[in-house]
Amino acid sequence: MSKGSPGRPTPGFLVWRLANKWRVAVDRAVAPLGLTHAQYSLVASLYGMQRAGERPSQRRLADHTGLEALYVSKLARALESAGLIERTRDPRDPRAVQLALTEQGQAVTRQAIAVVQELLQQLLEPLGGLDAPRARAFTDELTTLLDAPLAPSVPNDESTQGTTP
């Protein structure tokens, strides 16, 4: 809650609540397809990148999704075990692992995308639906916030002592 306005939630709190609401809803929606929200984020991103002609590395996919590289590696291994993606060494960089959806992975991902698109339409209905001006403005605002760099301050850091925020 904000110090300045008692009882009024802060934007950070609301973003956190919305992110959790969305994660839980997507988890439930894609569970029948054998996916979690994080796995969906990975395969849906990979699907879009493959359609654009890319065969991204795990690092590139981590950068694209905003997930930690180690977490992407863990997710990729699980998805590979499930037969949804294949991991291969990058011929240009033997340290890098490239990812690609298998045929089964493409089919599951197409189904998951359809399910999540329907869920997104439900989420954005109060703003007039996915293609409404308010929803587009909301998307623009979220993009602006995501593009803004954040450098968390370190409490009790000697370099910041004696300065005012």
pLDDT of 141 strictly over 60:
yes
What's the whole-model pTM score?
0.83
- What's the chain look like in SS3? CCCCCCCCCCHHHHHHHHHHHHHHHHHHHHHHHCCCHHHHHHHHHHHHHHHCCCCCEHHHHHHHHCCCHHHHHHHHHHHHHCCCEEEEEECCEEEEEEEEECHHHHHHHHHHHHHHHHHHHHHHHHHCCCCCHHHHHHHHHHHHHHHCCCCCCCCCCHHHCCCCC
Give the residue-averaged pLDDT of 108-128. Answer: 97
Tens-digit pLDDT profile for residues 25-36: 999 999 999 999
Tens-digit pLDDT profile for residues 63-93: 999 999 999 999 999 999 999 999 999 888 8
